[in-house]
């Protein structure tokens, strides 16, 4: 299913047909597409200050859902950092040095994160490897600003 272009979030690049690639939910999810585009909360009239966001497009089967998620890019990156930090907690038994001052709220449940990763490794590992490879490719771009 293709992302709509007439709603408030204005897609620039889309991953259509995401419902067939949604990891363990593939083929049975309401998440139909992903996009990066002009945020629906953008109120800048200046083309040089547009707010860019990432969006998960959900569809009920009849219409685009109000449950679709739109996040500023920095929050998506921050969630990735939190996930990676949680995996490091499983290895190091403490919250790793990080940009964030994370707090372990329930130390007894950290093993559940490791177990989840082990159970979903076939879906998560390829994505983590792709994330690593793309970050490596972008190193010069990121560091030379």
Q: Is the pLDDT of residue 112 over 90?
A: yes
- pTM, entire model: 0.85
* pLDDT, tens digit, 9 for 90 and up, residues 23-58: 999 999 999 999 999 998 877 677 778 899 999 999
Query: How many Cα atoms within 13 Å fall on the side-chain side of residue 79?
Result: 6
Q: Which two tokens stand for residue 69?
A: 């998620």
Query: How many Cα atoms within 13 Å fall on the side-chain side of residue 25?
Result: 8
The region of weakest confidence among 36-40, 96-100, 105-109 is 96-100
Q: What is the mean pLDDT of residues 83-104?
A: 85
The pLDDT, as a whole number, for residue 84 is: 93
Q: What is the DSSP letter of 64?
A: B
Domain ranges, ordered by start, for the chain = 10-67, 73-143
Sheet holding 52-58, edge to edge: 10-16, 31-38, 52-58, 69-72
Q: In degrees to the nearest 10, what's the CA dihedral of 17, 23, 97, 115? A: 170
The pLDDT, as a whole number, for residue 120 is: 96
The pLDDT, as a whole number, for residue 20 is: 96
The H-assigned helical ranges of the chain are 73-92, 110-137, 139-143
Q: Which of 5-9, 45-49, 59-63 has the highest mean pLDDT?
A: 59-63
Where does the pLDDT of residue 1 fall: very low under 50, low under 70, confident under 90, or very high at 90 and above? confident
Beta-bridge partners for 31: 58
């Amino acid at each position: 299913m293709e992302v709509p272009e007439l709603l408030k979030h204005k897609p620039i690049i889309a991953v259509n047909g995401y419902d067939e690639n949604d990891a363990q939910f593939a083929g049975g999810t309401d998440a139909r597409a992903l996009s990066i585009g002009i945020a629906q909360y953008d109120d800048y009239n200046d083309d040089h200050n547009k707010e860019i966001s990432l969006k998960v497009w959900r569809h009920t089967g009849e219409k685009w859902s109000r449950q679709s998620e739109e996040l500023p890019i920095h929050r998506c990156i921050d969630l990735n950092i939190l996930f990676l930090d949680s995996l490091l907690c499983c290895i190091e038994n403490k919250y790793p040095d990080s940009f964030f001052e994370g707090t372990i709220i329930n130390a007894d449940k950290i093993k559940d994160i490791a177990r989840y990763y082990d159970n979903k490794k076939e879906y998560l590992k390829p994505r983590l490897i792709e994330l690593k490879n793309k970050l490596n490719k972008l190193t010069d771009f990121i560091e030379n600003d």
